[in-house]
Amino acid sequence: MLTTVALESGRGPQLAIRRMSARDSACFGFLSLVLSACTCLTEPGSGPPALQEQEQAAAPAPPPAPTPTPPAAPAPSDAANDQIGASHILIAYKGALRAPPTITRSKEEAQKLASSVLAQAKAGAKFGDLAVKYSDDPSAKQGQGSLGKFGRTQMVKPFADAAFALKPGEVSGIVETPFGFHVIKRTE
């Protein structure tokens, strides 16, 4: 059986002439119908007009669309906010990620120093002054520990989790990250 088949491509219709068995012809017809239906789903009005008319005439009326439920108002929490502001004091130790070679204290010594700095912060010492005096973050001396505003994904997870859990003005406990031990104060 000799069959002429119209094919559609991105460059327009093309004709293909080849010899097909009856089974091939039936499979091709079914495939054409399926492909036309898919094209109609992805590109409205792009299928063969006759097929679109048949589908519209044969298709039962769609059920009424469900009434959308308005989204629940987000809870007033920092998880919904994009960014917060915070300052921190980093106490690094030998072997911590990005610790300068001048850092010689052990991890245990760093944790004890962080505890002492935390106690001073909780007792009301100026956080910026503590950052200048104790922080191993190179930018702490200039910005008094200020990190400015940042999003949750901009910081390592333990730091972000602790900072976002604080209310403005609150000081965290000791937070350990691969960089060392942090004392965090939420500013915004």
Give pLDDT tens digits for 51-90: 444 545 555 655 565 555 555 544 444 454 589 999 999 9
pLDDT of amino acid 112: 98
Q: Same domain for 88 and 155? A: yes
Q: Same domain for 47 and 90? A: no
Strand ranges (E), 67-166: 83-91, 146-151
User: What is the bridge-based pairing of β-strands 146-151 and 2-9?
Assistant: unpaired
- What is the per-residue pLDDT across 1-35, written as a single tens digit (0 to 9) for each? 444 444 444 444 444 444 555 555 554 454 444 34
Could you list the residue range(s) of the whole structural domain that residue 125 is in? 83-186
Structure tokens at 81: 């906010």
CB 162 within 8 A of CB 184: yes
In a domain, 134, yes or no: yes
pLDDT of amino acid 128: 96
In a domain, 97, yes or no: yes
Instruction: Compute the distance between CA of residue 55 and CA of residue 42 in angstroms, rounded to an integer.
Output: 15
In a domain, 78, yes or no: no
Does residue 180 register a pLDDT over 50? Answer: yes
CATH code, 124: 3.10.50.40
Instruction: Compute the distance between CA of residue 177 and CA of residue 158 in angstroms, rounded to an integer.
Output: 6
Q: Same domain for 49 and 105? A: no
pLDDT of amino acid 60: 60
Structure tokens at 14: 């093309």
Q: Same domain for 42 and 123? A: no
Which of 41-50, 102-111, 119-128, 131-140 has the lowest average pLDDT? Answer: 41-50
Q: Same domain for 104 and 166? A: yes
Which residue from 103, 186, 177 is spatially nearest to 145, judged by alpha carbons?
186
Where is pLDDT greater, at 22 or 112?
A: 112
Instruction: Compute the distance between CA of residue 102 and CA of residue 95 in angstroms, rounded to an integer.
Output: 11
Does residue 120 register a pLDDT over 90? Answer: yes
Buried b (16+ CB within 10 A) or exposed e, 102-111: ebebeeeebb
The stretch 108-137 carries a mean pLDDT of 97
Q: Same domain for 117 and 152? A: yes
Q: Same domain for 101 and 138? A: yes
In a domain, 138, yes or no: yes
pLDDT of amino acid 141: 83
In a domain, 68, yes or no: no
Total domains, the chain: 2
C-alpha torsion angle, residues 15, 17, 22, 24 (rounded to 10): -70
Query: In whole numbers, what is the pLDDT of the chain averaged over residues?
Result: 75
Q: Same domain for 94 and 169? A: yes
Strand ranges (E), 141-179: 146-151, 171-177
In a domain, 71, yes or no: no
Does residue 160 register a pLDDT over 60? Answer: yes
pLDDT of amino acid 182: 97
Q: Same domain for 176 and 97? A: yes
> Which are the contacts of 48, defined by CB distance < 8 A and separation ≥ 6?
8, 36
